[in-house]
Amino acid sequence: MGELSTQVVIIGGGPSGLLLSQLLHVCGIQSVVLERKTKNYVLGRIRAGVLERGLLHLMREAGVADRMEREGFTHDGTLICYGNQMFRVDFKHHTSHSVMVYGQTEVTRDLYEAREKSGGEIVFNVEDVEIHDAKTNAPFVTYKKAGTSHRITCDFVAGCDGFHGISRKTIPQKVRKEYEKVYPFGWLGILSETPPVSHELIYVNSERGFALCSMRNTNLSRYYIQCDLSDRPEDWSDNAFWTELKLRLPPDVASKLVTGPTIEKSIAPLRSFVSEPMRWGQLFLCGDAAHIVPPTGAKGLNTAASDVNYLYRALRQFYETGDTSGIDSYSEVALSRVWKAERFSWWFSSLMHRYPDHSEFDFRIQVAELQFLHGNQAAQQAMAENYVGLPY
């Protein structure tokens, strides 16, 4: 059996695990990242790309912001449509902050490059990962790679391995309390090598269902429409998708839409989920391992980043001063912000989607809420503050 020792074992080589590893490296804390897939597989995952102000700051602090600053697109606001109305929520005006459109794949690519450049240890294609003795001061992690068993002793374990990973399941069921809401629809999303219909995101509440016009760059567009959970991507031809999207957009927006062949098509279910606590002994959960949000408002990666922020600062405090207060309060502090992000994602999803069991009364309440948001500066400020990211 191969044996290794480090300060922090990070399970999961996605953006949250890599960001934590890079931030720890910057302040001289050792880590090893374990990833069950290949690097190319991780980079091939299509994910959101709206970065909050807090994540932008962490990328700069981690020393990986140069390409993001050059190639990312700063968005000072967003557009919201309902009926024949369209209005803009001005983030910059209400909060003095913006968001940046920069694909999660690009964030991950930048972090891989930084970790490899600095000699960071990332082990791919690991199997049978297990966390041992997390409730003691001498935890260790075992795994197999190419049939050979390995063991890593460490001070702490960070579970950044997503909803289906082993980290959350390591916490005994009698200790965990889970909260979940499953939404009765999905998002059919496509990528298309076409110019975006708008330089800012457009969120649409249509009688036919929700739609979102997003982007990755000046010639790569990302569009979504609300669909039935029973739908499959292959049920939707490119022509059927574009036709339906146009029917949901305001006519003047639809007339400007440039269509073309899709290069990726997928359906994502929507779920709100939180598991408490986010710490068990020397094991800490980050990101999707502990919580899921519906994609409305782009809080998934950003909420994972806030976890990384709290954990990184707690570990740095411990290693530099011996103070355990940040570690001891991690779960409570992280969950406080998680639940605020959950609330915003739930609220925005409830506002913009058509639910199968909605009555006419429910529809009218939705319209009234949209009208209130349209005409009320305080409501727009509250939305803008949540969208650009609540302070850490």
The rounded radius of gyration (Å) of the Cα atoms in the chain is 21
- Single out the residue of 241, 246, 239 nearest to residue 231, CA to CA: 241
- Between strands 31-34 and 8-11, the pairing is parallel
- Clarify whether 299 is annotated catalytic: yes
Is the dihedral angle over the CA atoms 321, 322, 323, 326 positive or is it negative? Answer: positive
- Clarify whether 144 is annotated catalytic: no
- Clarify whether 75 is annotated catalytic: yes
Which candidate in 143, 183, 203, 224 is catalytic?
203
C-alpha 113/C-alpha 26 separation (Å) is 14
SS percent in the chain: helix, strand, coil, step 5:
40, 30, 30
Which candidate in 25, 75, 97, 291 is catalytic?
75
DSSP letter, residue 147: T
Task: Supply angle C-alpha 290, 309, 381, rounded to 5.
Answer: 90
Residue type at 267 in one-letter notation: I
Q: Judge whether 191 and 222 are in contact, CB under 8 Å.
A: yes
Which candidate in 102, 295, 310, 330 is catalytic?
295
- Clarify whether 203 is annotated catalytic: yes
Which candidate in 299, 310, 312, 319 is catalytic?
299
**Cα dist from 209 to 53, 191, 224, 289, 354, whole Å:** 30, 20, 11, 30, 5
Annotated catalytic residues are 75, 203, 295, 299, 387
